[in-house]
Structure 1
Amino acid sequence: MNATKYYIAVISAFTIWGFFSVVLKSLDDFTAFDILSYRSVLSAAIMMVITLLLRPKALKKNVSLFKSFESKIQYRILWINMLSGLFLALNWYIFIYVMNNVSVSATSLAYLICPILTMVLAFIILKEKLFKLQWFSVALSFLGCLLLSLGNFMDLFYSMIIAFSYAIYLILQRKNQEMDRFVVLTFQISFAVILLFPFFMTYDFNTEKTTFFYSMILLIAVVFTIIPMYLNIYALKGLPSSVVGVFIYLNPIINFFLAIFYFKEEITLMQGLSYVLIIISIIIFNIPALKHRIHRRRAAHIQ
């Protein structure tokens, strides 16, 4: 199987998410919950419109496909996608809670911890194989995260919760391969919005919304939600969860460089060392896969 397109998909997804902070920074006048609520509802609405009006044949085909499965498989598909929506909702809500009530650094740390959890959970739950060199990269990235969390235990605790919810979501997608990826994502995001709806109803939306706010939310919904999430679950169709998980590091690494060169923030020596360790761990983790692909190409060329 040619995995290049899946690598392109996962790299594109987390690269896009890496630049999310640039857009979010322009919405400083609005609360995080304002952004979350409008983003999630608009994303679900857009995907529903696309699925119902622009892709009716794909929807009809997938409904027929679902009906053709035996009841055991149907229940499994439903449960996996409902759980996926639940963990998406949990991830979004806890992320916003931590950002508003704990610290922004805790949410950033979550993106660094998530790949480690994903790799370990994929090994435990899905029995995905990890080479010794990859285990070394896990340890190295864990060390980098540990250095970043020194003196901030509560940040580490909340980061673990955020990271765990998204790691479980990634793991679930590896067992969610039967249906069309866009239809599946539409169901998941719509279900997540339904679960979050009680919080939307009880929240006091005081800040006056501007045309700029709505245009940025539209950009966030399409470019920073629908497209990267679709690319993410598409990549999981052809790549192990552990491999997809490690590319999550692209997000905080891009944020790190944006903080230095775009937002002109001061970075400590400890932070710099931590990110260097994490970058090295990504390179080390992908060495076995790169060697395997080189050997396959050589073998194919000899034949």
Structure 2
Amino acid sequence: MKATKYYLAAFVAFLIWGFFSLGLKPIHHYPSLDILFYRVFLGVILMSLINVLFRGQIIKKDIAAFKNMLPNHKRQILFLTFGGALLLMANWFFFIYVMNHVSVKAASFAYMVCPILTTVFAYFILREKLSIWQWTAVGISVFSCVLLSYNHFMDIFYSLIVAATYALYLVSQRKNSEMDKFLLLNVQLLIAGLFMLPFYPVYSGALPTEGLFYICLFVIVVLFTIIPLFLNLYALKGVSSATVGIMIYINPIINFLLAVFYFKEPVTGLQLLAYSLILLSIVVFNEKLLFKRTKKQLEV
């Protein structure tokens, strides 16, 4: 039961992200870099206000804890926090670009590849162990991605970049578990904002005047950034990177359904088969959690 809340946090995070295209598509005519600029800047402002106004004691506690750490530990925390900020920033830019300028299905495919990369990175970097069932799920996922990649090489190229940046972010933040997660996310967005600030005057377009842009941006920052990222980091406190990684599949499945039924993008029988296999892989990977209650009932 203790781990259930962490599983639920990861599930809700990726469920929310699955509907991201609904907030992003209405402003697809704006440059990807502009959307990234304003997403990061507004996110920094909102999160900083929340932390300063309502979470002062937590900030003081984390600062005191950081000061008492050994020098090597401090360097590790700083490296993981700074590196996580850069990975998050890169992931956002490439995802926005793919979603708005390639296709919703290509963005969806990116998060099909991501769990596989997360599992592999976690296995080699964090030495996280996987059961036979979990390796079987990885194998099913690889096969489904091979099916999806057929005749779509550019989709693979863009998808691998998006997937690799987020997979590395997940794995790195699994080791960065000392700080309060909301404060950590605030610091990472602040780093990303400071890094991007010098580029804003040179690479940004004209200041948006359309009200729809700011409405969509607010929804993107609050509903599709702050809330799911916090839930994602919270989940990493109680479950492995590989487990959180495999739940990413919830995101592209919803994206795929939206692409087909809402955005009316064409779909083939091969793609339907591949996404069905993805659903199967989720069940297989989480069989221990999903069938735990059933097994207890059988024992009774």
The whole-number CA distance in structure 1 between the counterparts of 2:260 and 2:63 is 49
More displaced 10-residue stretch of structure 1: 244-253 or 135-144: 135-144
The whole-number CA distance in structure 1 between the counterparts of 2:294 and 2:85 is 38
Distance 1:265 1:103, change over 3 A: closer
Secondary structure of the equivalent of 1:253? helix
Q: 2:28–2:100: 8 Å Cα contact kept in structure 1?
A: no
- Which residue matches 1:159? 159
Distance 1:165 1:217, change over 3 A: same
- Which residue matches 2:280? 280
Is 1:269 matched with 2:283? no
- Which residue matches 2:149? 149
Shift of 1:285: 0.8
The whole-number CA distance in structure 1 between the counterparts of 2:25 and 2:96 is 15
Secondary structure of the equivalent of 1:197? helix
- Which residue matches 1:85? 85
**Where does the alignment leave 5 or more consecutive residues of structure 1 unmatched?**
none
- Which residue matches 2:193? 193
Identity %: 47
Shift of 1:298: 7.0
- Which residue matches 1:135? 135
- Which residue matches 2:60? 60
- Which residue matches 1:215? 215
- Two-structure CA RMSD over aligned residues (Å): 2.3
User: For 1:64-92, what per-residue CA distance to the aligned partner results, in whole angstroms no more than 9, with x for missing partners?
Assistant: 11112122211111111111111112222
Secondary structure of the equivalent of 1:2? coil
The whole-number CA distance in structure 1 between the counterparts of 2:19 and 2:269 is 23
Q: 1:144–1:278: 8 Å Cα contact kept in structure 2?
A: yes
Calculate the TM-score normalised by the size of structure 1: 0.91
**1:1-303 counterparts in 2 under 5 A?**
2-98=2-98, 105-206=105-206, 208-291=208-291
The whole-number CA distance in structure 2 between the counterparts of 1:95 and 1:202 is 22
Secondary structure of the equivalent of 1:156? helix
Secondary structure of the equivalent of 1:130? coil
The whole-number CA distance in structure 1 between the counterparts of 2:184 and 2:12 is 20
The whole-number CA distance in structure 2 between the counterparts of 1:95 and 1:19 is 14
- Specify the code of the residue in structure 2 equivalent to 1:212: L
The whole-number CA distance in structure 2 between the counterparts of 1:199 and 1:102 is 24
Secondary structure of the equivalent of 1:186? helix
Shift of 1:158: 2.6
The whole-number CA distance in structure 2 between the counterparts of 1:114 and 1:181 is 22
The whole-number CA distance in structure 1 between the counterparts of 2:173 and 2:111 is 18
User: For 1:97-153, what per-residue CA distance to the aligned partner results, in whole angstroms no more than 9, with x for missing partners?
Assistant: 555666654433211100000011111111111111211111111111111111222
User: For 1:158-213, what per-residue CA distance to the aligned partner results, in whole angstroms no more than 9, with x for missing partners?
Assistant: 32122111111100111111111111111111112222334423214137422221
How many residue pairs match? The answer is: 300
Q: 1:89–1:196: 8 Å Cα contact kept in structure 2?
A: no
The whole-number CA distance in structure 1 between the counterparts of 2:78 and 2:294 is 39
Q: 2:104–2:255: 8 Å Cα contact kept in structure 1?
A: no
Secondary structure of the equivalent of 2:37? helix
Q: 2:111–2:249: 8 Å Cα contact kept in structure 1?
A: yes
**Where does the alignment leave 5 or more consecutive residues of structure 2 unmatched?**
none
- Specify the code of the residue in structure 1 equivalent to 2:249: Y
